[in-house]
Amino acid sequence: MKPIQVGLLGIGTVGSGTFKVLQRNQQEILRRAGRGIEIAMVADLDTERAKAVVGDAAQVVGDARQVIANPDIDVVVELIGGYGIAKALVLEAIAAGKHVVTANKALLAVHGSEIFAAARAKGVVVAFEAAVAGGIPIIKALREGLTANQIQWIAGIINGTTNFILSEMRDKGLDFSVVLKEAQRLGYAEADPTFDIEGVDAAHKATIMSAIAFGVPVQFDKAHVEGITKLQAADIRYAEQLGYRIKLLGITKRRAEGIELRVHPTLVPAKRLIASVEGAMNAVVVQGDAVGTTMYYGKGAGSEPTASAVVADLVDITRLATANPDHRVPHLAFQPDALADTPILPIEQVQTAFYLRLCVADEAGVLARITSILAENGISIDAVLQRESADGEKQTDLIILTHDTIEGQMRQALAAMQALPTVLAPIVSLRKEELA
């Protein structure tokens, strides 16, 4: 049988990795797919670089639309990234009847509903395992492996750059700005790291996982997103003393009132396995009603780890290319006409515990007034830690851990505490998840 013909759009880090993995493991892939997979065309603006990677093994062109227009191409792999030209090319490939593989989480998180609808109308597959957590097969786990479960929640370290920075801040006691410069020097962070450090990249991925887990449309615009730029070394140190580590988590939860979808720095008990995930590694914890807790760990980025997911999608498409479209696994795990309109809850309705750090005057009655304000807002205290003042020092840090509460109530309490004359600096508040 003639091999599946693949057109590759973009041959940067992931594209070159995909070509190398396919070349190196072609016999193993043939045995698994039952049919060969060949990259027949490569489109890249830097044609010289592309030719240096593929040699004579594939035709190299500078215009991606030449790939899409080629009737011999069965699958288009989009590795360009971004929302702009990538969206146009993916929709054009679908319109031309090509299956699509993409690693573009931003595109799917923002325009996924439109893209999946177009693919259904043409009877083609859009595969995107590489869009979330690199080489970790979390999309397949959610769509297929856990299909018997009602997913209750997902919590993931899904951005390697921020996890590297937080690991370094904890290990070396350094502030964010210092570690960011080191991460950029080592190549873990981009020259412009905004998407990573502000939580946007993680929110794209969390949005996709939430849609698959709960059978809802992708709704990135409703996600609550916070990054790590305001984190201080002092809070990482205090969290450690209390038995917690701070991780940037993408969290999505099923509640009776709706779905929580949020990305923010989070205190996690040090005894949880995910708290031990260090450096640039990724991990995703999924809670299902039948299976209980499962965790998926591995490299979330990089040339060949991400290529592993791209090639896995190509193998899936090769196996399914002749299958009736109605019998394929739906893009978002649930049948398209069965997607729910369950609302994404605003952050004020999210339910979680909190870590609070208050710089207060070191005098009698301060703690009593603060605990009184928390009680007035229906917030119960889990633990309190007070830094011992040095001789002559007139202020101290007061650390409070709360039990679960509604975010809106906490915001009211924070406003009341901040107004106290004995609270001497802006209050630091971080969310806390037990992930039990």
CA–CA separation, 334 and 211 (whole Å):
9
CA–CA separation, 430 and 423 (whole Å):
17
CA–CA separation, 383 and 278 (whole Å):
26
Closest CA to 344 of 253, 435, 432: 253
Residue 9 marked ligand-binding: yes
Burial class (CB in 10 A: 0-12, 13-18, 19+), 340: exposed
CA–CA separation, 320 and 387 (whole Å):
61
Residue 15 marked ligand-binding: yes
Residue 105 marked ligand-binding: yes
CA–CA separation, 41 and 70 (whole Å):
9
Task: Just list the catalytic residues.
Answer: 205
Residue 279 marked ligand-binding: no
Residue 12 marked ligand-binding: yes
Q: Is residue 290 within 8 Å of 284, Cβ to Cβ?
A: no
Residue 11 marked ligand-binding: yes
CA–CA separation, 392 and 374 (whole Å):
29
Residue 306 marked ligand-binding: no
Angle between helices 303-320 and 13-24 (to 10 degrees): 60
Q: Point out the annotated binding site.
A: 9-16, 105, 190
Q: Point out the annotated binding site for NADPH.
A: 105
Q: Point out the annotated binding site for L-homoserine.
A: 190
Q: Point out the annotated binding site for NADP(+).
A: 9-16
